Structure 1
Amino acid sequence: MTTQFAVTASSAADKAGDIAQVIASLPVSLHQAFAAADLVGIAGGDGWVDAAKHAIESGARGVLIVDPVAFDVVALIKQADAAGVPVVIDATWTHNPAVAASADAFVEHCDADGFIEARVNVPLGSDIERVLLNQLSLVRTVVSPISRLRFARKNSRGYDALADLVGGASASLSAILSSSGPVSATLRILQSETSVEVELPSPVSAAPGSVIVSGPEGATLLPTQWETAHRAAWRRLHGLVDAGELSRDLAGFARDVAAIRTAK
């Protein structure tokens, strides 16, 4: 039997992460609460770390952060681990089901000589640092954390950067800020005869992402599923709380923040 958890979220978190819609789509697992709740959704703007600490102190069994800004999370990691509370970061791309579907293929094709291309298209006016954090989260989840980052261009219209990954592979990262096209992300690894590419829609879209593995014998489209990234993030948090497990999202987030802070 599926355990049903009560959820509460700030209006800002609800707007940023479509939380009311997610709850409505998971009636067996989640239900709306207006006071104390098992799971708490928090917007990732200024003050999100303090809000998460307060939620844990108030008895939350699980916390989800929507699109957080860069911040020191060392104290929050210690508090969450001590309380046994999983903290899931609802990054823009990470929880799209196509990401999990592509992971094995990327691991199989990635080695020290591999080259990864990552590109995102986001609306004009987006917070550049948040855009980069979300892209680093995607690369880390699918391939490997980034150990060094160097910018060739960075301005209000986007950025281009080169990166070294833990394990030796290299990557190019780019972001285009424009209101002329749909929000999307692409991640591709290139080898001498093979490639793996994942294309992701906006996190509010339930349309499936695509994963294509190409080689000398042709291209294969891997199966994915219809689900928004936001919904998948909440399902993951529910599963962690139900199983009594913690999350390593904050540790990965801290690593991404460090890569940005030391970038040249």
Structure 2
Amino acid sequence: MELRLDVATSDAPGAVRTALGTLPRSYGPASSSGSAPPAVAVIRGAPGWTEDAARAARAGARGILVVDPVADRAAPDDLAALARIPIVLDTPWRHRSALDAARAPLHRLLRPHALIECRVVGRPGDASDRQLLGVLGLLRGLGVPARRLHLHEADAHGFAATGELDQGVRACVWGILTPSADPGASIRLIDAAGSVEIDLPAPDGGAQPARVVVDDESDSATTIGPFETSTRGALIRLHRLVGGTGRAGPADEGADDVASFLADAELVGAATSCAR
């Protein structure tokens, strides 16, 4: 019998409530009596979210979903509390299940000095540092976290950055803020041995499929991901972790969402400060 977790939704964003409605066998409403804390806490990722999440963990939550987190500072005792239970951060691009189809072929082509091209399209007024942080989360989800980052320029129209990833891989990242194109993100790696291209629609633009195109010696295929929002993917992953089935697939190998996110945020903060 599948584990059904109760979750309090009174303060949850609409995207979370919508996604929960599509997972009735996994999640149910928390009791209104307040006799026990809900199994899953939903935390908005506003400044101070690490403290809010730690408070929920100490109150007895078995898992926590943090929605759209911003860069934050965490006290050591809060980090210790957060390390005791599964915590999933609902960041823009990380939880598209189609990434599973891209991870293995991408790593077949990785070698020192290989170049990964990343592009993200946002709306005017979007913060460049938030967009860049989302791209680093996407790269981390693909198993190539950033180790160094240099922001070359950033203004109201977008940004340009370069970085060094795990395994000595290089990255070029462009951000475009425009009302003339649909928001989304893309990743491309082209090598003499083949190529991998990933196209992801906006995470809040409704349930839309991602597209992964692989062409190398081992495979040649186009994969269309399921019609699934990023938030729904995050909830599925959290359920697997809380349910005791262990890590929820390749995207979770060696992963610590909070520590990883804070490390990426520190890179973006340092790069932004140097660019000023």
The 3 A distance-change label for structure 1 pair 171 and 10 is farther
Gaps of 5+ in 2: 248-254
Gaps of 5+ in 1: none
Deviations 1:174-213, CA, capped at 9 Å, x for gaps: 1111222211100111212411011001213322101001
Contact kept? 2:124, 2:178, Cα under 8 Å? yes
SS of residue paired to 1:125: coil
Structure 2 matches for 1:1-40, cutoff 5 A?
1-9=1-9, 11=11, 13-15=12-14, 18-33=15-30, 34=32, 35=34, 36-40=37-41
| Residue aligning to 2:57 | 56
Structure 2 matches for 1:23-172, cutoff 5 A?
23-33=20-30, 34=32, 35=34, 36-73=37-74, 75=76, 76-81=78-83, 84-172=84-172
Q: List, as ranges, runs of 4+ consecutive aligned residues in structure 1 with deviation greater than 6 Å.
A: none
Between 93-102 and 223-232, report the one with greater CA deviation: 223-232
SS of residue paired to 1:23: helix
Question: Number of residues paired by the alignment?
Answer: 259
Normalised to the residue count of structure 1, the TM-score between the two structures is 0.91
SS of residue paired to 1:105: helix
CA–CA separation in structure 2 for the residues paired with 1:217 and 1:146: 27
Deviations 1:143-200, CA, capped at 9 Å, x for gaps: 4111111122111221101111121010001111122221110011121241101100
CA–CA separation in structure 2 for the residues paired with 1:262 and 1:122: 22
Structure 2 matches for 1:174-253, cutoff 5 A?
174-204=174-204, 205-215=206-216, 219-243=220-244, 245=246, 248-253=256-261
Q: What fraction of aligned residue pairs are identical, expressed as a percent?
A: 31
| Residue aligning to 1:262 | 270
Deviation at 1:98, TM superposition (A): 1.3
Q: Letter of the 2:241 partner, please give it.
A: L
SS of residue paired to 1:262: helix
Superposition CA RMSD, Å: 2.1
Contact kept? 2:214, 2:220, Cα under 8 Å? yes
The 3 A distance-change label for structure 1 pair 128 and 10 is farther
Contact kept? 1:7, 1:39, Cα under 8 Å? yes
Q: Letter of the 2:171 partner, please give it.
A: A
Q: Letter of the 1:78 partner, please give it.
A: A
Between 203-212 and 165-174, report the one with greater CA deviation: 203-212
Q: Letter of the 2:233 partner, please give it.
A: A
Q: Letter of the 1:27 partner, please give it.
A: P
Normalised to the residue count of structure 2, the TM-score between the two structures is 0.87
Contact kept? 2:148, 2:163, Cα under 8 Å? yes
Contact kept? 2:158, 2:174, Cα under 8 Å? yes
CA–CA separation in structure 1 for the residues paired with 2:10 and 2:173: 33
